[in-house]
Structure 1
Amino acid sequence: MVCDNCKKKIGTVATQEVWKSGSRNTVESGGRKLNENKLLSGKSTRYSPYTTKFSKCKVCKGTIHQPGSTYCQGCAYKLGICTMCGVKVLQTKNYRQSSV
């Protein structure tokens, strides 16, 4: 779960999402160019899983694979907080959540 302020920090995918009418990176919406070389037009640093250091979750100390996040998806859902900044997003008082 991500709050409204952190939605713009989430990375985008390189391929088109043609099955969704409101997707961010289709050709019609102007988010992607035709015949674009992603290697040349992308960021100067490419993602490499061997050189990237994954951060740890503040609650369970598990690895987080989304860059910029401080909490893993499971802990963020259980606590009802944003995965990136930790702001309370959802009230989980009346939820029946397991401790597993």
Structure 2
Amino acid sequence: MVCEKCEKKLTKVIVPDKWKEGASNTNESGGRKINENKLLSKKNRWTPYGTTKCIICKQQVHQDAKYCHTCAYTKGVCAMCGKQVLDTKYYKQSNV
């Protein structure tokens, strides 16, 4: 659960550029070397088990967020910025 402002940050795609002229993964534009191991050549690799942890339960979070999905829904806040998104006053939640 994220707010409208943080929803724009989630539009990043992991897939590479389309194979076309001017893309970063083509030989013509000088963006890619022949026989290059992409995993070894990257400086900042994406790690699925990053160092980002939930503030409340200390569980690892898979995105750039402060709260995990469960804690964000329980508190009714945006997972990324912590802004109040919905009122959970009348919700009947079992893990509160």
Q: Give the partner amino acid of 2:73.
A: Y
Q: Is 1:55–1:63's contact at 8 Å kept on the other side of the alignment?
A: yes
Unmatched runs of 5 consecutive residues or more in structure 2: 26-30, 33-41
Q: Any residues of structure 2 matched to 1:1-100 within 5 Å, and which? A: 1-10=1-10, 11-14=12-15, 34-36=18-20, 39=25, 40=31, 45-49=44-48, 53-66=50-63, 68-99=64-95
The RMSD of aligned alpha carbons is: 2.9
Deviations 1:47-88 (A, max 9, x none): 244xx632111111111111x201000000000000000000
Higher relative CO (CA 8 A, sep ≥ 6), structure 1 or 2?
1
Q: Which has the larger radius of gyration?
A: 2
Identity %: 42
Q: Give the partner amino acid of 2:87.
A: Q
What number of residue pairs does the alignment pair up?
Answer: 79
For normalisation by structure 2, the TM-score amounts to 0.65
Structure (1 or 2) with the greater helix fraction: 2
Q: Give the partner amino acid of 1:12.
A: V
Moved over 4 A (4+): 36-41
